[in-house]
Structure 1
């Protein structure tokens, strides 16, 4: 029996590697290679593949949302392709629907492929959908955006590396933003709103239209009669928090 396989990955090299690995299996036929989620969704509905290698982080439509939007009656066996850390994926090692952690070697691919072959032998669509639902819920927990741990700042002919966790607060200064640590200040040519997108919102909170603060450095918050607040940091620095942003920090 020949199985129809579809690959969806926005990284060209990753797609080519998957195709090369599949050449060792004469029982599969790669019917489509898609570069984004919407293209993959259309191709899956059109070709009805048996097996899909699905990247999680893709433009236009990510792998999780794509998989959730599929008709259960036509659901293929799905292997997620991901760059997630191992700790988030170890729970999959003993299960039928598997993952490939980039970069992967031939041994890891073969192991995953054999799991997929066993899954394809399931004839009960209800069993297959139940398995998928479990993993869909799991992936939702770990498919959050990743945030950089290091920020690079050019200083003349040098490039300095700052740990994001060391940033106490960030302020807008004209066309620049200032990155303030406990020991130093650095200017970066970027807008505050753009830089905010790179920060974990659970740690970095906008307290003013021109200020973002790392909550790990906050000592206390003081209220004023006019509705504004002062944010006192552990190093005694005081930042202003406007009433328009208080809900970001005070619930």
Structure 2
């Protein structure tokens, strides 16, 4: 699914900054997206159609037609309840006025990349795309990877390596906790040290699996029968 995002901001430096931050976050998640940028509320409303966008970053202090008036147009005139609105403002104290338009967030200038990331994370959660992403932490930073881009996980003790199409990364976790996010989503827990993505299986043998790139992964003796059954379910489209 392609995310459609609009930015309505009349300060060009902030407009460019918001667009850069949105691109940075979405490129990091390998998600398809389209961004449209507007410099005033009138232009946005003139071009707006119901269900056009998933998310709108909206400056409240727009000249002539301000952000609150744009919100009223979206929710009341157009009757669009699906678009998520993230307000951007140089001031605080709008809470009561904005509440009735059900914003996803309120960002105070100067906006930083982490602000945008929090908004997009919440959007993904609300649109159920979060379920197709694997989330992990390194220190205080959070990361997300599309499930389809993960080839397999391997572990040594609590250090886990996530093997992706575009390279590897390491973090600390347990394989049981990782699998709790992945169970029922085309992943097989084939060995205490390996979780693999069914999409990349080239060959399933009695004691090992060969993945794309001729990577050999052992299957625990105790799991051989159940893994074969789970893989057959995947092939039938049941997993």
* TM-score of the two chains, using structure 1 as the length reference: 0.42
* TM-score of the two chains, using structure 2 as the length reference: 0.44
Q: Which has the larger radius of gyration?
A: 1
